[in-house]
């Protein structure tokens, strides 16, 4: 089963070298243990562009779709047997990237 692990940030600073190194090592382990699906860090929310092409023409607008103090700073997608395993991995990930996380299951098809 796959889980989205969202990295939540509120201070607009990039990960420092220690955090980057810890996350890289953690990602190696995720790969080795078969939990890895995807991971990546995101640029600042101000770099976002919102698109709405539900009507006649695509409308592009600047900025995140919702202004919040806390925002999505990066994400993992992990493979885990169940929520307990996902929470255990998430707890490690939070330690390594030094940020708060949210773990959320994908809908199973």
Partner 1 sequence: MSSDDLDETITRTYHEQWARVVAGLARRFGDLDLAEESTAEAFATAVARWPDEGVPPNPGAWLTVTANRRAIDRIRRETKRDDKQKQAQQMYDVPPEPTGPIEDDQLRLIFTCCHPALSVEARVALTLRLVGGLTVPEIARAFLIQEPALGQRITRAKSKIRAARVPYRVPSADDLPGRLASVRTVLYLIFNEGYLATGPDTDPVRRELTTEAIRLTRLVRELMPDDGEVAGLLALMLLSGARHAARVSATGELVPLHEQDRGSWDAAVIGEGRSIVRARLATGIPPGRYQILAAINAVHTDAADARDTDWSQIVALYDQLLRIDPSPIVALNRAVAVAELDGPEVALSLVDRLDPSLGRYHAYHVTRAELLRRLGHSQESRAAYDTAIGLVGNSAETAYLSRRRAQLGVRPPTD
Q: Which residue, 6 or 23, has its beta carbon nearer to partner 1? A: 6
Minimal distance in Å, beta carbon 83 to partner 1?
5
100: which residues sit within 8 A by CB, 6+ positions away? Answer: 7, 8, 9, 70, 94
Helices (H), 9-103: 17-32, 83-97
CB of 85 to partner 1, least distance (A): 8
Chain residues that interact with partner 1, rule: CB under 8 A: 1, 3, 81-84, 86-87, 103-105, 107
Q: Which residues contact 54 (CB under 8 A, 6 or more apart)?
A: none
> Nearest approach, Cβ of 77 to partner 1 (angstroms)?
15
């Amino acid at each position: 089963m796959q889980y989205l692990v969202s990295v939540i940030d509120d201070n607009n600073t990039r990960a420092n070298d220690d955090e980057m190194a810890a996350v890289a090592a953690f990602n190696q382990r995720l790969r080795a243990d078969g939990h890895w699906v995807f991971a990546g860090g995101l640029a600042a929310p101000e770099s976002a562009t919102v698109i709405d092409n539900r009507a006649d023409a695509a409308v592009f607008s600047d900025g995140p779709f919702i202004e919040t103090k806390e925002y999505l700073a990066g994400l993992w997608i992990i493979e885990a047997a169940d929520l307990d395993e996902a929470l255990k991995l998430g707890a490690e990930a939070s330690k390594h990237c030094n940020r708060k996380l949210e773990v959320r299951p994908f809908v199973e098809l």
